[in-house]
């Protein structure tokens, strides 16, 4: 379950009570903006704004009125009107329609959710980048198809993840102007009652709410914008799941290169006392599946009838907050995992020796090619020696030294130098340093 009592969590912006506060703030800001250009009297706007922000419009009263009208937004407007002075009542919600409140309040929810999510994405990117630097000179097994392939720097794993988390910060920044939209253009998007001043009113409201004014709408904001938000969340979640899956694999008994933090008194299994299960990473994987499932719903909401229908409305009350809350929870979990991740450097070293030196086959091939041996001939010789060494459980280094086809081109000193893992980290140092600089450049301002 999500801990909704924790500080700085998205869930606090996604409650019914907060939604009402957002919508009342829109009503207040709309009245003030209209008064600024003499669309409605200033004293009227002041009264509407004062009552909207008074805290006296309660969810209880809205619910009572909704029971009669069967319309939640109309009930909110009526509850606000009840508190306003007689001269102000006609001007409450002037020129607006229900979805001006619904969609703009959605944008306010997303705006404030980004304030929580973006720093957490940036923080995780920086933590990962620092681990990349820490382990950039640690040779490790690089695996493809689940098989030992070649030597990598262990820090390269963290650098890959750090780079993508940094890219997600860029994505959030880029998508804000498309997603955080203020819409106050009335029933079918023409601003009909406010006339030629409708766009100026919307511009002023948007600025006050730290949103972007809509360029064009029907009665609603185009649902491509919400689909992008849900997709953006799911994409970040997929990266977190990618990290979680790798941690789970590296924590397998047979590999044992990393382990999730395991606190004193923690139980890994109710039946097997010695187990330390990667349950936190498994939780991230599990939540990512739910998060991704929201994408298809959000995309189904894009095609609606004419200027709008209600086939999107009910499910959006789930998809927008659910995707935000799930991602927030996943970020919290993964940050805790990575911050205290146990890295077993001794096991990493031993795993490079597991194939008795055959992990260096790529570099033997390269050495022979550089001596002028045709690639296919060198490939076949190395494959022959390696397979025979496996059958006899012989060290590949010894088998290479003894093979006349290979040793005819490489002397003992040259062969032995090939079997030093630190000699094969390639450009990893530069790659990791570049990623580290990029992450700090992109993410530091958000943490």
* Catalytic residue annotation: 145, 269
Task: Tell me the pairing of strands 181-182 and 212-213.
Answer: parallel
| HSE-CB for 130 with a 13 A CA cutoff | 11
What are residue 212's phi and psi, to 5 degrees?
Answer: -110, 130
Residue 160: helix, strand or coil by DSSP? helix
User: How far is the C-alpha of 112 from the C-alpha of 14, rounded, in Å?
Assistant: 9
The pair of structure tokens assigned to 231 is 């997709």
| HSE-CB for 439 with a 13 A CA cutoff | 30
| HSE-CB for 133 with a 13 A CA cutoff | 13
What are residue 141's phi and psi, to 5 degrees?
Answer: -75, 130
The 10 Å Cβ neighbour count of residue 68 is 10
The 10 Å Cβ neighbour count of residue 59 is 16
User: How far is the C-alpha of 294 from the C-alpha of 320, rounded, in Å?
Assistant: 9
* 316 closest CA partner among 227, 389, 396: 227
Contact 160, 246 (CB under 8 A): no
Residue 144: helix, strand or coil by DSSP? strand
* 352 closest CA partner among 151, 192, 173: 151
What are residue 224's phi and psi, to 5 degrees?
Answer: -60, -30
> For residue 338, is it left (φ>0), alpha (ψ between -120 and 50) or beta?
alpha
* CB neighbour list of residue 236: distance below 8 Å, 6 or more residues apart: 117, 121, 165, 168, 327, 331
User: How far is the C-alpha of 428 from the C-alpha of 199, rounded, in Å?
Assistant: 53
Contact 147, 420 (CB under 8 A): no
């Amino acid at each position: 379950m999500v801990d909704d009592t924790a500080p700085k969590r998205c869930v606090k912006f996604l409650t019914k009570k907060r939604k009402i506060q957002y919508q009342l703030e829109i009503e207040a800001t709309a009245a003030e903006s209209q008064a600024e250009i003499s669309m409605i009297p200033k004293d009227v706007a002041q009264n509407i704004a004062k009552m909207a922000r008074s805290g006296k419009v309660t969810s209880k009263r809205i619910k009572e009125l909704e029971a009669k009208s069967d319309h939640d937004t109309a009930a909110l407007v009526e509850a606000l009107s009840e508190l306003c002075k007689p001269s102000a009542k006609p001007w409450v919600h002037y020129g607006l329609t229900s979805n001006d409140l619904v969609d703009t309040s959605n944008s306010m929810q997303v705006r404030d959710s980004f304030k929580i999510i973006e720093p957490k994405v940036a923080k995780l990117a920086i933590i990962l980048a620092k681990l990349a630097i820490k382990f950039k000179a640690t040779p490790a097994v690089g695996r493809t198809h689940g098989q030992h392939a070649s030597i990598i720097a262990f820090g390269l794993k963290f650098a890959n993840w750090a780079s993508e988390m940094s890219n997600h910060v860029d994505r959030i920044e880029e998508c804000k102007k498309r997603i955080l939209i203020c819409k106050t253009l009335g029933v079918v998007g023409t601003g009909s009652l406010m006339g030629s001043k409708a766009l100026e009113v919307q511009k002023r409201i948007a600025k006050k709410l730290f949103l972007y004014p809509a360029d064009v709408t029907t009665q609603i904001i185009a649902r491509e914008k919400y689909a992008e938000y849900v997709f953006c969340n799911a994409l970040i979640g997929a990266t977190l799941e990618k990290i979680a899956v790798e941690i789970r694999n590296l924590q397998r008994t047979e590999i044992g290169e990393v382990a999730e933090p395991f606190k004193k008194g923690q139980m890994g299994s109710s039946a097997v006392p010695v187990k330390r299960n990667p349950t936190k990473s498994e939780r991230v994987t599990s939540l990512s599946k739910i998060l991704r499932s929201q994408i298809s719903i959000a995309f189904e909401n894009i095609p609606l009838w004419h200027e709008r229908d209600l086939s999107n409305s009910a499910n959006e009350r789930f998809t927008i907050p659910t995707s935000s809350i799930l991602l927030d929870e996943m970020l919290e979990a993964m940050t805790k995992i990575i911050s205290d991740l146990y890295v077993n450097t001794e096991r990493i070293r031993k795993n490079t020796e597991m194939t008795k030196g055959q992990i260096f086959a790529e570099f033997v091939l390269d050495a022979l090619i550089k001596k002028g041996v045709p690639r296919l001939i060198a490939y076949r010789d190395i494959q022959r020696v390696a397979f025979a060494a496996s059958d006899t459980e012989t060290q590949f280094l010894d088998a290479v030294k003894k093979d006349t086809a290979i040793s005819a081109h490489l002397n003992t000193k040259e062969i032995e130098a090939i079997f030093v893992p630190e000699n094969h980290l390639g450009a990893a140092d530069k790659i990791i340093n570049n990623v580290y600089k990029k992450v700090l450049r992109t993410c530091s301002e958000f943490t």
